[in-house]
């Protein structure tokens, strides 16, 4: 038998899903991801909706794989009996017509290896590794300096005292008197007069700093190695593709006036200059033998599979908006008719003049949308829509990588005027690594750079205003607490030593208020980030995580610190900074984890699904609306990263004065880790492939922990002793230097890694493991491409089985 590309595998013997409609199959060549007439449109706006289709859609969005790794196959064999009894397995392998996704045959469990998430993009397993790295960081800080801090605070600290009869009748300054409690006894305030302990503490803090700098280099190396390993074992649509920019938008000189066909022909001719690998030649020989045996025309595989153009989608979105407005009117009419006792699909309903009129208007808009999509698919007469960008997908991953290696330029190279040597119609093209299909915000691609900058400046202004309002609220709570502390001091002077419960209650209210404000902040900043109109989901996620974590950190730590230090001037007194912030750490470890575990969003969806299903054929929801209702809540990695970063910033800010926070935050992150794994395995859908770029950027953000940590170490030493040690200054220099220097690039120089393609599959085989592709995700071509995909999978499955039988692989 001739050599095959490594990893040549069978398509699963999935059962074709047949909807209630009779759809005509499309004869599409395997691997042809682009043009051609699609099957009948999926009834996404039909009323009443089909609940079975909605259930299929929900299962198609389960977090699992359709292509098993060796480890997953072993686990599946061990639990084969259990799996076979699951009724949901009846849907396995079926394809949801609306999104062209297959129901996975292996769902991920809460205890799965983090590498099992790799089919969602390298960024997903790296997210969980990131949480583990944060926990390791906190444990290292605790072991090197935190444990000494807590032990000496408790064992040798004498600065905080028990409120007893000795203080009865005395005039006590409530801001300077440190009352001994669980919060103050473990804090630095309890040994603020112990110079010898604090000097040694700064030396240990410096050791922590140096250890963390080395640890960050280890994190980066492991992150890059992990990414390279996943990339070599998992294939994505982006591995076979490149992104071309600066394509001429003038149709003059185009072959048949067809933008994508002309560009496809050019790229097909250009890629022929690259030699084929021996494994690819062997595969093509096997394919020709199969064609000869089957008495089919002998054809060569095209090395360029598809060209997907990027368009200005404003007109399409406006038409969709008009259509949805008409659908809302239709739903109101149907609700009124059903309320009058008329039965669905009865002649009274179907012939109602208002309903007939609105259906006619919807049909007119649908025809306009179909004409526009047809124009986009054909690539003709699109001068006013084409943005000069295109995703080019190749038959072989090696071709895409060869072009990137030769023509991709860095931002710096482009900045100094260097041009690509890939010339198309007299214009040098810009060649870039493409984002994943689900990572592209197609509707934002036409937004100009100037407009994006103005939007982001506006977004930062709104965030600053919100933080100012939050600061006012925290100040108001602090003022009330300060009044209560004064009342307690007056009571002590009069001989009343009973504790003032009002101070404790306000501390807890303030702590809960901060958590609630952080939640509101995250929601508002999310809307602000959406307004900024990023071109990719990764760019949006990074912006949201960065702004949200920084804003929550300022709200949780900085504003409270500033008010306590310079306004109320109460650091360790009753109701002071140490007291309040200790409650913040405890409640912040418990409340978010409990809220996430209860998962009100999922419970709410269950209730509404039950109520909607009871309506049966009297439901006025469209099929699309029902699908959205049946989908599990989407996992938001940006919000998750923001929560982790906020926790790390806050604990770094207070670690030297409240060392117990290191242990509390470790517990918080551990709870977050397992609750996230539970939710993703059972109660979430994941709509995007997350790239490693997100994790790389979050490591950059995490390095801000170092200057925050060493800066607050210096401040607390100065606040309690009135002096600054040499160790604290060295720590500041190291922390700031590490944050400023390009540590990722330095890590690449110190630890060079080289990833290679370890298997060479044609795209029609590799796409079995793709979540999606560019044609299926681009709104301009999605509807037709999704129907083609289903037909292509079925056709290639049959062809593949015939080839396996012929060559003895069956």
Per-residue pLDDT of 652-673, as tens digits, reads 999 988 899 999 999 999 999 9
Could you read off the pLDDT of 29-59 as tens digits, one per residue? 323 333 333 334 677 888 889 898 888 888 8
Start-end of H helices in 247-352 = 259-271, 278-293, 314-339, 347-350
Res 96: pLDDT: 77
Residue range 579-591: average pLDDT? 83
* 223: pLDDT strictly greater than 70: yes
Residue 462's pLDDT band (cuts 50, 70, 90): confident
Q: What percent of the chain clears pLDDT 70, i.e. is strictly above it?
A: 82
Kindly report, residue by residue over 416-425, the tens digit of the pLDDT: 888 888 999 8
Q: What is the mean pLDDT of the chain?
A: 79
pLDDT at 482: 65
pLDDT tens digits, 127-148:
999 999 999 999 999 999 888 9
Let me know if 79 is exposed, middle or buried by CB neighbors in 10 A (0-12, 13-18, 19+): exposed
Q: How far is the C-alpha of 171 from the C-alpha of 687, rounded, in Å?
A: 63
* pLDDT of the residue at 786: 76
Where exactly are the structural domains of the chain? 1-108+773-810, 123-236+446-741, 238-444
pLDDT for res 63: 84
**Other C-beta atoms lying within 10 Å of the C-beta of residue 475:** 16
Whether the per-residue pLDDT at 648 is higher than 90: the answer is: yes
**Residue range 523-531: mean pLDDT, rounded:** 83
| pLDDT at residue number 665 | 94
Q: Give every CB contact of residue 437 below 8 A, 6+ residues apart in sequence.
A: 237, 238, 689, 771, 772, 773, 774, 776, 777, 778
Asked if residue 563 lies in contact with residue 478, where contact means CB atoms within 8 angstroms, the answer is yes
Digit-coded pLDDT (tens) for 596-636: 899 888 899 999 999 999 988 888 899 889 999 999 998 98
Q: Which residues fall within 8 angstroms of residue 795, CB to CB, at 6 or more apart?
A: 27, 28, 30
What is the pairing mode between strands 386-394 and 304-311? antiparallel
| pLDDT at 342 exceeding the cut of 90 | no
Confidence at residue 294, expressed as pLDDT on a 0 to 100 scale = 77
Task: Write out the DSSP string of 264-288.
Answer: HHHHHHHHTTSPPPHHHHHHHHHHH
Q: How confident is the model at residue 86 (pLDDT cuts 50, 70, 90)?
A: very low
Residue 502: per-residue pLDDT:
63
| Residue-level pLDDT at 493 | 55
Write the CA distances from 294 to 176, 283, 290, 798, integer angstroms: 92, 17, 6, 13
- pLDDT attached to residue 162: 73
pLDDT digits (tens, 9 = 90+) for 388-397: 899 999 988 8
- Tell me how far CA of residue 793 lies from CA of 137, 340, 623, 737, in angstroms: 47, 47, 24, 54
Q: pLDDT tens digits, residue range 368-390? A: 988 888 888 877 778 888 898 99
Judged by average pLDDT, the poorest of 644-653, 737-746, 791-800 is 791-800
pLDDT score for 9: 32
C-alpha Rg value of the chain to the nearest Å = 31
Q: What percent of the chain has pLDDT over 90?
A: 19
Query: For every residue of 585-641, which 3-state class applies, written as one string?
Result: HHHHHHHHHHHHHHCHHHHHHHHHHHHHHHHHHHCCCCHHHHHHHHCCCECCHHHHH
> Exposed/middle/buried for 589, CB within 10 Å: 0-12, 13-18, 19+?
buried
- Residue 581, SS3? helix
Better-predicted residue by pLDDT, 527 or 760: 527
By CB neighbour count within 10 A (0-12 exposed, 13-18 middle, 19+ buried), where does 62 fall?
A: buried
Look up residue 740 and give its two tokens.
């400023």
pLDDT on residue 2: 36
Supply 453's token pair. 């900058």
| pLDDT computed for residue 667 by the predictor | 93
Grade residue 767 by pLDDT with cuts at 50, 70 and 90.
confident
* pLDDT on residue 671: 93
Residue 69: pLDDT above 60?
A: no
Question: Is the CB of residue 627 less than 8 Å from the CB of residue 98?
Answer: yes
Mean pLDDT of 275-301: 82
If one compares 513 and 352, the residue with the highest pLDDT of the two is 352
Is residue 204 predicted with pLDDT exceeding 80? yes
Q: Where is pLDDT greater, at 119 or 1?
A: 119
541-577 confidence digits (pLDDT tens): 888 888 888 888 888 888 888 877 887 777 777 667 8
The model carries a pTM of: 0.80
Residue 292 CB-density burial (10 A; 0-12 exposed, 13-18 middle, 19+ buried): exposed
pLDDT for 327 equals: 92
Partners of 307 in beta bridges: 392
């Amino acid at each position: 038998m001739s050599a095959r590309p490594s990893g040549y595998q069978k398509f699963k013997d999935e059962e074709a899903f047949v909807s209630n409609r009779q759809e005509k199959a499309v004869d599409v060549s395997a691997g042809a991801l682009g043009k051609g007439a699609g099957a009948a449109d999926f009834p996404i706006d039909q009323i009443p909706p089909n609940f079975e289709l909605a259930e299929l859609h929900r299962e198609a969005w389960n977090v699992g794989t359709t292509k098993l790794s060796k480890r997953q196959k072993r686990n599946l064999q061990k639990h084969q009996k259990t799996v076979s009894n699951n009724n949901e397995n009846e849907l396995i392998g079926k394809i949801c017509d609306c999104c062209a996704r297959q129901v996975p045959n292996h769902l991920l469990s809460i205890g799965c290896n983090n590498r099992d998430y790799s089919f969602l993009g390298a960024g997903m397993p790296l997210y969980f590794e990131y949480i583990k790295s944060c926990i390791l960081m906190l444990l290292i800080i605790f072991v090197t300096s935190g444990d000494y801090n807590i032990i000496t605070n408790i064992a040798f600290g004498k600065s905080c005292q028990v409120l007893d009869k000795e203080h009865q009748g005395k005039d006590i300054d409530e801001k300077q008197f440190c009352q001994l409690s669980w919060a103050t006894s473990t804090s630095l305030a309890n040994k603020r007069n112990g110079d010898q302990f604090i000097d040694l503490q700064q030396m240990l803090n410096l050791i922590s700093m140096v250890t963390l700098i080395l640890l960050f280099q280890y994190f980066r190396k492991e992150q890059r190695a992990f990414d390279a390993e996943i990339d070599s074992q998992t294939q994505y649509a982006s591995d076979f593709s490149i992104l071309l920019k600066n394509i001429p938008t003038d149709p003059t000189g185009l072959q048949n006036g067809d933008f994508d066909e002309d560009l496809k022909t050019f790229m097909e001719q250009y890629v022929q200059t690259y030699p084929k690998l021996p494994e690819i030649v062997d595969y093509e020989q096997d394919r020709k033998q199969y064609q000869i045996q089957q008495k089919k025309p002998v054809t060569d595989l095209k090395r360029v599979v598809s060209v997907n153009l990027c368009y200005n989608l404003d007109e399409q979105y406006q038409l969709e908006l008009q259509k949805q407005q008409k659908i809302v009117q239709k739903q109101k009419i149907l609700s009124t008719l059903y309320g009058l006792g008329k039965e669905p699909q009865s002649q009274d309903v179907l012939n109602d003049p208002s309903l007939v009129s609105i259906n006619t208007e919807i049909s007119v808009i649908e025809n306009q949308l179909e004409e526009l999509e047809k124009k986009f698919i054909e690539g003709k007469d699109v001068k006013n829509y084409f943005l000069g960008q295109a995703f080019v997908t190749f038959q072989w991953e090696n071709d895409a990588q060869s072009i990137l290696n030769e023509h991709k330029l860095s931002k710096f190279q482009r900045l100094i005027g260097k041009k690509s040597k890939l010339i198309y119609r007299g214009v040098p093209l810009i060649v870039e690594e493409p984002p994943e299909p689900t990572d592209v915000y197609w509707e934002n691609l036409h937004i100009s750079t100037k407009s994006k900058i103005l939007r982001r400046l506006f977004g930062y202004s709104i965030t600053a205003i919100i933080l100012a309002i939050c600061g006012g609220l925290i100040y108001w709570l602090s003022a009330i607490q300060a009044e209560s502390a004064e009342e307690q001091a007056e009571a002590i002077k009069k001989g009343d030593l009973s504790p003032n419960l009002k101070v404790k209650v306000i501390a807890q209210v303030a702590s809960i208020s901060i958590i609630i404000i952080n939640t509101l902040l995250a929601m508002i900043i999310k809307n602000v980030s959406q307004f900024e109109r990023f071109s990719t989901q990764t760019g949006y996620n990074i912006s949201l995580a960065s702004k949200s974590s920084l804003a929550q950190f300022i709200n949780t730590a900085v504003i409270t610190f500033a008010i306590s230090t310079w306004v109320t001037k109460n650091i360790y007194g009753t109701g002071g900074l140490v007291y309040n912030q200790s409650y913040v750490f405890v409640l912040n470890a418990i409340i978010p984890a409990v809220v996430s575990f209860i998962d009100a969003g999922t419970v709410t969806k269950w209730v509404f699904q039950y109520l909607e299903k009871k309506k049966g054929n009297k439901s006025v929801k469209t099929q699309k609306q029902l699908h959205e209702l049946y989908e599990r809540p989407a996992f938001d990695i940006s919000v998750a990263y923001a929560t982790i970063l906020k926790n790390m910033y806050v604990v770094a800010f207070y670690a030297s004065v409240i060392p117990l926070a290191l242990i509390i935050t470790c517990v918080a992150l551990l709870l977050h880790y397992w609750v996230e794994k539970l939710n993703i395995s059972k109660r979430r859908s994941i709509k995007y492939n997350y790239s490693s770029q997100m994790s790389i950027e979050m490591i950059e953000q995490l390095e801000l922990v170092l200057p925050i940590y060493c800066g607050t170490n210096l401040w607390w030493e100065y606040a309690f002793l009135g002096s600054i040690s040499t160790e604290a200054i060295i720590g500041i220099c190291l922390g700031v230097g590490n944050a400023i220097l390009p540590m990722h690039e330095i890590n690449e120089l110190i630890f060079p890694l080289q990833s290679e393609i370890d298997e060479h599959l044609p795209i029609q085989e590799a796409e079995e493991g793709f979540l999606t592709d560019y044609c299926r995700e681009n709104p301009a071509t999605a509807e037709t491409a999704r129907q083609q995909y289903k037909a292509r999978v079925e056709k290639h499955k049959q062809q593949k089985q015939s080839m396996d039988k012929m060559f003895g692989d069956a």
